Amino acid sequence: DPHQGPVGRREQRQRLEVVRRRLLVDEPHEHADELALIHGDPALGNYMISGTQVTAVIDWELAGILTPAYDIAMQCLANFYYRSLSSPEVVARIPSDVEWVALYERISGRRIVNLDYYRRVAACVLLVVQISMARNFTGAALKAYLQGLEPIWQVAESV
């Protein structure tokens, strides 16, 4: 089908639609007092660090008013992804999900709730971004790229 685009594109959209519908069904109701300005893409690569100080935070296009659990979930998902790509020396320095949540809760005085749900939301957002970036891939390159997204799909499709 010439309108399908690269092999796998239609299947990816169909999978995303199933995830989107499940997220809408499972969406928790957050009280307005639980919402805050969040970054939306708080991966470590978006922090400019000098020594032990954060000097800037970049890449704010996904920012919005949402529960902080989303940012923590996105950070945990990014850490999961980076662990899969990194050397053992780097992996040893990436905080665990438990460490991220505990640190946030200690510093903010706020409790993170619904983390598993927001981890699925973050995975869905990450998949949309990653799949859109693959629009010019074809053949074996597209197949390999999409295969590399399977761990993120596992998170998005978990229930």
Cβ(72)–Cβ(118) under 8 Å?
yes
Phi then psi dihedrals of residue 25, to 5 deg:
-65, -40
Q: Digits of tens for pLDDT over the chain (159 positions)?
A: 333 444 467 888 899 999 999 999 999 998 888 899 999 998 878 999 999 999 999 999 999 999 999 999 999 998 888 888 889 999 999 989 999 999 999 999 999 999 999 999 999 999 998 888 888 888 888 888 888 889 899 999 998
Alpha helices in the chain (DSSP H): 9-26, 68-85, 88-91, 97-108, 115-133, 139-148, 150-156
Provide the pLDDT for residue 10. 82
Phi then psi dihedrals of residue 113, to 5 deg:
-125, 160
- Three-state DSSP at 71 gives helix
pTM of the full structure? 0.84
Provide the pLDDT for residue 11. 86
Provide the pLDDT for residue 5. 43
Provide the pLDDT for residue 133. 86
Query: In the structure encoding, which two tokens stand for residue 153, read together?
Result: 């799909």
